[in-house]
Amino acid sequence: MSALLNSTQSMIHEAYNYYLWTLSLADHRTRGWPLVDSPMPTVLYTALYLAIVRTGPRLMKNRQPFRLTWALIPYNLSMAALNFYIASELLSASTKLKYSYVCQPITRLSHPEELRIANAVWWYYVSKLIEFCDTFFFILRKKENQLTFLHVYHHSTMFSLWWIGIKWVPSGSTFLPAMANSFIHVLMYTY
């Protein structure tokens, strides 16, 4: 029993040391930015999202669907505007820096255009949190046919994956998928 306890304690200690080592590799430019320093806010928001996905349809089962046009129109317009801002910032800054669309190395420079890219990637990460509302609107409007495994998987993982992006690689080739996806979201939310 003592050997098992020591082995478990050693494994936890090694995992914690590995976590501390990964933190030492984090990009210094985003240190102190909201939601970036610790994984806990991202984990907690994602867990809350999944709890709402699990309980929301049950709570709505015997209720009439909500008509949310009053909320959906401003939400969609503001999300289109946010995604347009992100995409245009990434396009402008990456063009000025002559970024490659094939493979852009990570730089940790405090150049103003590099910081614009990091800032836009942070906003992209935050937009993934705001997009949880897409699912909540489906639940409140009783659109369970749109509440697919793929939808929930996509929304719950994108927020976590982009936390990794903003924590460790808020520049380099990270800009391209954020820029392309933001342009697509402008079209989606405008429609």
Per-block average pLDDT, block size 10, for the chain (191 residues)?
Answer: 83 90 90 95 98 96 94 97 98 95 86 95 98 97 93 96 95 93 96 83
Strands (E), 5-145: none
Q: Where are the domains of the chain?
A: 2-190
Q: Just list the catalytic residues.
A: 154
Could you tell me which residues come within 8 angstroms of residue 22 by beta carbon, excluding any fewer than 6 positions away? 168
pTM assigned to the model: 0.91
